[in-house]
Amino acid sequence: MSIDDALFRKAMGSFTSGVTVVTTVHDNAAYGMTVSSFTSLSLKPQLLLVCIQNQLPTHTAILKSGIFAVSILAADQADISQHFASKITDKFTGINCSTTAAGIPVIANACATFECTLAHVLPGGDHSIVVGALNEAHVSDRAPLVYYRGGYHQLA
């Protein structure tokens, strides 16, 4: 038995998640997108995963480059989430970024950033489950941006 897509989205929206921006570089071009499907996977070895829609340019760029970064957005960065979720081509104009050791842009003032080497790609319907082996991480003391039932929220 399956349910309709609208009910599935509404039910899944009942799960509060953090908000991230996943970025990569390939052929001297930067790519990025907003992702809420992100989690730690393993401590030994240190692995994390993100789920990325197969049709998007960032997906293709990650597979070709073999590297990616994740920025966990802070409570005051909802505008950055919306920017990277949009269909605009140049996602990095006007966005304050720094770069990882591998040259991948990460969002400045994020709660945390991770640089990863692509370890595995698993099928997940219209998405791929992208597993990254951790190369570096940075953490701040900022509060996170959270997403719940179709809207951005802050922790009290």
Q: What percentage of the chain reaches a pLDDT higher than 90? A: 81
Q: How confident is the model at residue 136 (pLDDT cuts 50, 70, 90)?
A: very high
pLDDT of 35 strictly over 80: yes
Top-confidence residue, 15 or 54: 54
- For the stretch 93-107, pLDDT in tens is 999 999 999 999 999
pLDDT score for 115: 98
Closest CA to 152 of 82, 78, 79, 80: 78
The pLDDT value given to residue 43? 96
SS3 state of residue 76: coil
Greater confidence (109 vs 2) lies with 109
| Integer Cα distance of 10 and 20 in angstroms | 20
Mean predicted confidence (pLDDT) in 106-121: 98
Give percent above pLDDT 70 in the chain: 99
Number of domains in the chain: 1
pLDDT at residue 140 above 90? yes
Residues 6+ apart with CB under 8 A from 53: 59, 126, 127
Position 14 scores a pLDDT of 83
Say which CATH number the domain at 61 has: 2.30.110.10
Q: Tally Cβ neighbours within 10 Å of residue 112.
A: 18
Give the per-residue pLDDT at 73.
97
Its domain, for residue 87, covers 5-154
Query: Is the CB of residue 83 less than 8 Å from the CB of residue 48?
Result: no
Q: Give the tokens for residue 76.
A: 């005051």
Report the mean per-residue pLDDT for the chain: 94
Per-residue pLDDT at 3 exceeds 90:
no
Residue 55 has pLDDT above 90, yes or no: yes
